[in-house]
Structure 1
Amino acid sequence: MTDYIGDLRKLIGTRPIIMCGANVILLNDQGQILLHHRIDRDWWGLPGGAMELGESFEQTAKREVLEEVGLICRDLKLFNVYSGEKLYYKYPDGNEVYNVTATYICKDFSGEIVVDPSEGRDARFFPLDKIPSNLSSSIEEIVEEFLSKYLAGS
């Protein structure tokens, strides 16, 4: 797999770019949500990441979940697509992005949680009423919308 974003950064430096990617709301049989504790900041987020050349959003979502937390997603259902000012993010290294993120819900997955230590400190399921307060700024809106719809029964 190529490193599209890395190759692009060699050309343009840290300037803001539009970065397409996907993340996944994984729900276990108890209705708990999987969150991934990132190493670049003390934030919890959804497993996911940037799209590589030639990938679909679904392929990106499945690959990123497998790479970051070791789980294999079988059935993905599109939840929503997010973009705009709220999805601006500046990485600790100074790279700036405006994310375009396809978020999926997955209840059909297999495997054991194994966190890639180059990307995360931890990954675990949380009850929906016990989600950590230190969520990644780029997923706060996503989690809030999910909780409002899920808890409302839609």
Structure 2
Amino acid sequence: MPISDYYKNIRAKIGTDLIFMPSVAAIIKNDQNEILFQYIKGEEQWSLPAGAIELGEPPAKAVIREVFEETGLLVKPLHLIGIFGGEDFRFTYSNKDQVEYNIFVFNCKIISGKLTAIDGESSDLKFFNVYSKPELALPYPEVLFHNLKVSDAYFQWNDDWLKLNN
């Protein structure tokens, strides 16, 4: 589903103004260690399988739902590998809706399914080698696409804040 009733109601009230959007994204690898990316219809950009967290929905359940809707794959989230947000994760859709994502990124394992866009949001789904991945709509750090261990979760830090508070 491209946009939920919840976000439709918000947009009806505020138009295209900037909103926070709690979201999830998945790093999904095949047996050749390639990463799955989706090409979004109407946006002309590649992304990780991702989407908004719905009201009352835990992030891990949201990533399972979003991945299935966008890819036809049932996945199991193995662990959280990064949390991102801030100005670098602002995006303006082709319809001029502005969002600032707060994204929980999960490493996920394919359990079952056939690679196909269920909700019609993806116009292409393709696995890429980490060294030949497409340019993405959001600036995820390169380290995220390599084999991170659970203890290596990546977090954004404001170095200026750390210097002032140490």
TM-score normalised by the chain length of structure 2 = 0.81
Of residues 41-50 and 116-125 in structure 1, the stretch that sits farther from structure 2 once superposed is 116-125
Partner residue, 1:10:
12
Q: Contact conserved, 1:23 with 1:101, CA < 8 A, in 2? A: yes
TM-score normalised by the chain length of structure 1 = 0.87
Aligned-partner SS, 2:147: helix
Aligned-partner SS, 2:61: helix
Partner residue, 2:157:
none
Q: What is the alpha-carbon distance in structure 1 between the residues aligned to residue 20 and residue 122 of structure 2? A: 24
Gaps of 5+ in 2: 153-166
Aligned-partner SS, 1:150: coil
Q: What is the alpha-carbon distance in structure 2 between the residues aligned to residue 90 and residue 127 of structure 1? A: 28
Partner residue, 2:83:
81
Query: Map of 1:1-154 to 2, 5 A cutoff?
Result: 3-116=5-118, 118-132=120-134, 134-136=135-137, 138=138, 140-142=139-141, 144-147=142-145, 149-150=146-147
Counterpart of 2:136, as a letter, is L
Q: Contact conserved, 2:80 with 2:107, CA < 8 A, in 1? A: yes
Count of residues in correspondence between the two structures: 148
Q: Contact conserved, 1:3 with 1:52, CA < 8 A, in 2? A: no
Deviation, structure 1 residue 40: 2.2
Q: What is the alpha-carbon distance in structure 2 between the residues aligned to residue 151 and residue 59 of structure 1? A: 21
Instruction: Mark the CA change 1:123 to 1:4 in structure 2 (over 3 Å): closer, same or farther.
Output: same
Deviation, structure 1 residue 89: 0.6
Aligned alpha-carbon RMSD (Å)? 2.1
Instruction: Mark the CA change 1:108 to 1:121 in structure 2 (over 3 Å): closer, same or farther.
Output: closer
Aligned sequence identity (%): 33
Q: What is the alpha-carbon distance in structure 2 between the residues aligned to residue 51 and residue 121 of structure 1? A: 22
Q: What is the alpha-carbon distance in structure 2 between the residues aligned to residue 128 and residue 151 of structure 1? A: 13
Aligned-partner SS, 2:16: coil
Gaps of 5+ in 1: none
Counterpart of 2:143, as a letter, is E
Q: What is the alpha-carbon distance in structure 1 between the residues aligned to residue 19 and residue 43 of structure 2? A: 20
Deviation, structure 1 residue 151: 8.1
Aligned-partner SS, 1:135: coil
Aligned-partner SS, 2:131: coil
Q: What is the alpha-carbon distance in structure 1 between the residues aligned to residue 111 and residue 54 of structure 2? A: 22
Aligned-partner SS, 1:122: strand
